[in-house]
């Protein structure tokens, strides 16, 4: 009886082994598919990571300008470049800081709540594009009037026309918040449709721009 039980047990184990062997090709195929899927997933993640790294080092189709100057001729040059870049299909933005903020002022839009220093500063700086002087030979505004007259004679668009064109072309205009605080300029003194930001806002665009100018 004992020998018969041993033989029966061995026969059962053999049958189980044959069943496992019969099933092993299917299990092996599933394991291979799972491993291939895992490796493909890891490869995709690595490719995505490398693409992100390349994107961080790749410039966009963008142009960024800083307008620091409040001179008529220099501001006009910046607008000529900006409109040209926008017309060429570049996403264009201008960051106005310090003296450049005069370009964004409304005519007669000075805020009433200013301290003595801020009021004096406002009197000494242009109150809009019409009051901008030229960088050379201004002679208390005579140079600026002559410059505008010569532009008109040559059928060159005025600063105000170029400014309107830039906005029509979608040029983004940002006023520097820090400069506004220092110079005592309030938002209600500036024209509508502006963005407001600091150095981080400028660097965020400039770092991925094809063209970056300081005027």
Mean pLDDT of the chain: 83
Please give the Cα distance from 177 to 183 (Å, whole number). Answer: 10
- What are 3-60's pLDDT values in tens digits? 444 444 544 555 555 555 455 555 777 777 777 777 778 878 877 777 666 555 556 7
- What are 69-100's pLDDT values in tens digits? 999 999 999 999 999 999 999 999 999 999 99
CA distances from 55 to 48, 49, 52, 62 (A): 10, 10, 5, 14
CATH fit for domain 62-214, picks 3.40.50.720, 3.50.50.60, 3.10.105.10, 3.40.1260.10: 3.40.1260.10
How many Cα atoms within 13 Å fall on the side-chain side of residue 80? 11
Residue ranges covered by each domain of the chain: 1-58, 62-214
Q: Specify the DSSP class assigned to residue 130.
A: G
Q: Is 209 helix (H, G, I), strand (E, B) or coil?
A: coil
Residue in this structure with the two tokens 């033989």, named with its chain if needed: 7
Please give the Cα distance from 140 to 131 (Å, whole number). Answer: 11
pTM of the model: 0.71
Tokens of 93: 């933005």
Q: Where are the alpha helices (DSSP H) in the chain?
A: 2-57, 72-87, 116-124, 142-153, 159-168, 177-183, 199-206
Please give the Cα distance from 110 to 86 (Å, whole number). Answer: 31
């Amino acid at each position: 009886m004992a020998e018969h039980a041993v033989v029966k047990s061995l026969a059962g184990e053999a049958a189980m082994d044959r069943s496992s062997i019969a099933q092993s090709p299917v299990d092996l195929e599933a394991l291979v598919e799972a491993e291939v899927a895992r490796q493909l997933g890891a490869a995709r993640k690595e490719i995505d990571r490398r693409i992100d790294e390349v994107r961080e080092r790749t410039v966009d189709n963008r142009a960024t300008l800083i307008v620091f100057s409040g001179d008529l001729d220099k501001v006009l040059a910046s607008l000529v470049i900006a409109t040209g870049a926008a017309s060429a299909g570049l996403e264009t933005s201008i960051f106005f800081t310090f003296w450049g903020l005069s370009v964004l002022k409304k005519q007669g839009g000075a805020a009433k709540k200013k301290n003595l220093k801020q009021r004096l500063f406002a009197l000494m700086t242009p109150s809009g594009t019409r009051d901008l002087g030229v960088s050379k030979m201004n002679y208390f505004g005579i140079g600026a009037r002559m410059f505008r007259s010569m532009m008109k004679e040559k059928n060159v668009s005025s600063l105000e026309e170029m400014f309107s064109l830039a906005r029509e072309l979608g040029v983004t205009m940002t006023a520097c918040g820090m400069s506004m605080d220092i110079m005592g300029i309030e938002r209600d003194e500036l024209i509508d449709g502006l963005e407001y930001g600091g150095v981080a806002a400028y660097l965020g665009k400039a770092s991925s721009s094809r063209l970056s100018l300081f005027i």
